[in-house]
Amino acid sequence: MATPYHRYYTVEREEATQGHKWGPALVACGIAAMCAAMVVLQFNGSTVALPTSNFVALSNVVRPAPLASRFVTRMQAQSNPQELSRRGTLAFGAAALMTQGQAAQAVQGLTAGRIPGFGPVDENGIKPYVRPEGKSGGHGVGWSEIPQYQFDVPADFQEIAVSIADLGGTEIDARFTSEQYGDIALIVAPVARFKDIGWNAKVKLNELTATPEALVLGFAPEVLGNPIEEEDIVDFQEDMRGELLFYQWEVRPRNIIVASATGNRLFLMVIRAKARQWAAHRKELIEIGKSFKVPPANFVDF
């Protein structure tokens, strides 16, 4: 006499068997529907993709089975490797069809995280860093590619992970550290955050604030962690590097801040050092700031 458990298991096994029998046919129908919906028409040299709103119907075709049914079906698939392989092939084909012909919605690079950007070390123990092409930024979809800024540092500088808890918040683009010299942070901030600009803007650094001091005083709490006064500015230099204007400040107690702007972004390099690092390598840290360069943005993309 069958126990309640045996009766339950028999019913579930029959349900799983029926789903296993008709499942491939239903998946094949779903794939055929996707193929029809994603046909691309070529008309007068332009590509027109047909609507894909009917994809929602696919969710009604392939539904997850109850837990007991999935367990029985999985055991059957393990005992039949050919069936398991066939299912994997169908799933891969469906994923490929769903991504075919989709247009990119952002120009900005999509590769997140740290990408190697350091070049080889020269005979003087200096290595260049160039922002990797295709690296993503923190400004969201629709922003153009961030220009490949560059600078030179001593060989023992290493790139480290970026966190939104760091000084600079979500607009910090890269961080570097050296036990011997100190820390470097690169911040890429949308100009629209603090200045009303129009679309396709072509900002210039000297147009952002009334004075250079106003710029560094405004950003100091964010990039240094505390406000500064004008008397904290030890030195200020203004120069052209390529086609762009740059400001460079030395700020008490042991900071170098460099700024430039192009397109609709403001670029900041912030160099910070401990007392022993500053005492031994102040001149080298100033030279790191002077090596910071940003290529002009492609204004067509903004």
84-142 tens-digit pLDDT: 455 554 544 544 444 444 443 334 444 545 577 899 999 999 999 999 987 866 544 44
Q: Cα–Cα distance between 246 and 267 in angstroms, integer?
A: 10
- Among the listed ranges 30-34, 111-115, 159-163, 247-251, which one has the minimum average pLDDT value? 111-115
Share of the chain above pLDDT 90, in %: 40
Cα separations in angstroms, 211 against 197, 216, 231, 259: 18, 9, 15, 13
The pLDDT tens digits for 264-302 are 889 999 999 999 999 999 999 999 999 999 999 875 443
Q: 132 φ, ψ to 5°?
A: -60, 140
A 10 A CB-CB count for 273 gives 23
Instruction: Identify the pLDDT of residue 98.
Output: 47
CATH homologous superfamily for the domain 126-291: Mog1/PsbP, alpha/beta/alpha sandwich (3.40.1000.10)
pLDDT above 90: residue 10: no
Closest to 245 measured CA to CA, from 227, 266, 225, 224: 266
Residue 21: burial class (beta carbons within 10 Å; 0-12, 13-18, 19+): exposed
* Most confident of the ranges 63-77, 99-113, 196-210: 196-210
Q: How many CA atoms lie within 13 A of 189 on its CB side?
A: 23
Give the up-direction half-sphere exposure of residue 272: CA atoms within 13 A in the CB hemisphere: 13
Q: What angle do CA 266, 284, 156 make, to 5 degrees?
A: 90
Inform me whether the pLDDT recorded for 194 exceeds 50: yes
Average pLDDT, the chain: 73
**Cis link prior to 253 (omega < 30° from 0)?**
yes
pLDDT value at position 135? 81
Structure tokens belonging to residue 106: 């952002």
Amino acid letter, 64: P
Count Cβ atoms below 10 Å from residue 189 Cβ, excluding itself.
Answer: 24
Predicted local distance difference test score (pLDDT) of residue 118: 96
